[in-house]
Amino acid sequence: MKWIREEDWEGLMAFLPCATPSAWVDAARVNEETLLLNHCYLEQCAARTAMTLMFRCPDRPELLAKMSKLAREELHHFDQVHKILHERGYRYRILRPSRYAGRLNGAIRKEQPEQLIDTLIVGAYIEARSCERFAALVPHLDEVLATFYGSLLRSEARHFRDYLTLAEAYSSGPIEDRIEFFGEIEREAIESPDPDFRFHSGVPESKVEWP
């Protein structure tokens, strides 16, 4: 894959519990506006998550450095998606969020330092899934969107690795059990039927009708 180093892609796919179902890709091909609207919103959410971690962890210089860079990149991506929306005649508005992040975040432990570790693992899953979905979409998009989404793969893969590296660094022990725990939640959200089409939604409940 020309957009991302082979070793980075292999590590990311080994981390994810499943691949994106083809039914979701089919739905994305005929729901461009919803895809772009939700993508735009998710870039805002990603920047907000990074900045929230910075405020919560002012004594962790490694986290501050990685999250500061991540937040700036996510806001830049927001600007890029918003521009594409405008150019295609869509008006930006915030749609009802998908169930995906809510399910992952709802399983985060409440006490520290466990809460931080879980939050970082969830961040890793969100970034890894985003990268995987960009790659799944690229072959099916027009040249402008395909080039743009392909250009995001490297940064999304790095964001995934940054979150996971921080989780490993700040944990007092192995985190494989928590990775597996959240992986099962992630798999269920991706592979089960979903009434709403969103960037991180599951399998569409209704059959996609091609125009």
pTM: 0.95
The tally of CA atoms less than 13 A away on the side-chain side of residue 185 is 20
Q: Tens digit of pLDDT for each residue in 99-113?
A: 999 999 999 999 999
Q: Tens digit of pLDDT for each residue in 155-180?
A: 999 999 999 999 999 999 999 999 99
CA–CA dist 136, 147 (Å, integer): 13
Amino acid identity for residue 132 in this structure: E
Options 3.30.390.50, 3.20.20.70, 3.40.50.10470, 1.20.1260.10; CATH of 6-192:
1.20.1260.10
Average pLDDT over the chain reads 95
- What confidence score (pLDDT) does residue 209 get? 45
Q: Tens digit of pLDDT for each residue in 39-89?
A: 999 999 999 999 999 999 999 999 999 999 999 999 999 999 999 999 999
